[in-house]
Structures are given as structure tokens and as C-alpha cells.
Amino acid sequence: MTRFLRYKRGAGWGPLVVNRIRITALTLLAITLICSGSWAQNHGLWTLESVLHQLDAQAKTFRSLSADVERTKVTVVVNDHSSETGSLLVRGDKMLLQMKAPDARTILRTGDNLYVYTPGLNRVEEYNLGKNRTMVDQFLLLGFGTSGKELQKSYLITLLGEPVLDDKKTVELELTPKSSEVRNQISKIQIWFDESSWLPVQQQFYETGSGDYFTVRYSKMVRNPSISESEFKPHWPKNTEKARPQG
């Protein structure tokens, strides 16, 4: 103790004390970086656990979204690619997807109600989601405010990597549905999250059996814009034919 005090009064702290301070500082820095996620983000060391934790944190502040959409269907056997574009609005459990010509249609989801309006046929199909609501949300709202815990409930999740997509650094996940009902339709889903916003920039859905898939790409995304309630009201003409398909 006397030696330590003498060293401190003279030339400064002893090497043992300096080393302990250095180790403590590095430990605190490492803890801070890991907790904030900045270490993984800056050095490409994302783990599945840290990605899911980040999605949990981002889901708490997600309220709404607007984006442009491009959907491409790929038929593998004939190598056919068909694309369409549109716009998307999301707020809570409400969604408005408007696809442009040549196959123009509007898909509106509010609570348990889902509407598919086709202006070319002057026809709207109305569905009550009921017990199928959760399954429908897995496709319509996947990645938009979805927490890591919610993903884990519905999917087996694999972290595939951190590719660059449209000049954005992303985290790519592969999701295998746990539900046999969902797997009968979709065998797996790949989703790319932009590391700067934690919103999906691309999703790829693989159809069971055929090997066909469709890709959905998002651009011009705005997180938490102010969206009027009127956007989620039916706007088709009064003389529109209404149908309620069963099954």
C-alpha cells in the first residue's frame, strides 16, 4: 500500500493500476457496444439472437409506413417472370395495397375484414378473416413492426448473411413456417431487413410443391408517416358488384 501511494504521488499510477483501469474501460466499452447493437452493425457480426433483439426494440416504435412496391412472380418450369407495381400504406392492423394497370386492383385490410377490389370487373370480394387472421398477417404485414418474439412463434428462423441490396446493407433471414397449414401453401420465406431502418427491403415467398416463388421489393419507404383514417375506407363506386367467396 505504501509503495502504491508513493508511486501515485511521484511519477503517477503504477502499471498494475493503469492496466486494471484499461481492462475495466475496455470491458465497459464492449458491454455498451453489444447492448446498443453498434458493434454488430459496424463490424458485420450480427447473430440471430442480436437480430431478433433489434427487431423487438424496433417493433415498439413502429406505428405506420408508406412505400412503393414491386412484385415479381417467377414460374420456374418455363422461366417466366411477370412483374407489377403499386403502393402500400400500413397503420396498425390496417393495410392498403394498390396495384397499377394492367392488372389494377386494390387490397384493403381493416381488422378482420379483407377486401379485394378489381376496377376492371367493377367487383369487390369481401372476406372475414376470423380465425385465419394470424395466418393472413404472416403474409400481408410480415416485417412491418413484427417483433423478433412474434417471428419465433410462427417460424423456424435461420440467419443467412448480410448481403448488400440496392446499396443498402441488409440482414437476410430465412423463415420456415411452423404451421403445417401455412407450409401447405408456402414452404419458406426469405426476408431482407435494412440495417439502418429495420424495415424489409425485400421478401421472397416460395410456393410449396411447384418451386415457383414471388419476390416483393419495397422502395421510397417512410417510417411512421401521418396517415389519415380515411385512407382505409372503401372508395369503390356504389354500383360495384359485391361477392363473399366461401372457403
Spell out the domains of the chain, with CATH numbers in brackets.
Answer: 2-36 (no CATH), 56-243 (2.50.20.10)
Query: The whole model's pTM is what?
Result: 0.78
CB-CB neighbours of 73 under 10 Å:
15
- Alpha helices by DSSP H, listed for the chain, are 2-9, 15-36, 38-43, 48-59, 133-140, 148-154, 180-183
| Distance between CA atoms of residues 245 and 247, nearest Å | 7
Write down the pLDDT at residue 119: 95
| SS3 label, residue 131 | helix
Backbone angles phi, psi at 105, to 5 degrees: -165, 160
Q: Do you know the residue count of the chain?
A: 247
Write down the pLDDT at residue 19: 59
Q: Consecutive sets of 10 residues in the chain, 247 residues long: mean pLDDT of each?
A: 42 55 52 44 76 95 96 94 96 94 93 93 93 72 89 95 93 94 92 95 95 95 96 94 85
Closest to 133 measured CA to CA, from 154, 119, 157: 154
**Quick check: bond before 200 cis, omega within 30?**
no
DSSP 134-175: HHHHHHHSTTSS--HHHHHHHEEEEEEE--EETTEEEEEEEE
Write down the pLDDT at residue 240: 96
Cell of 148: 423478433
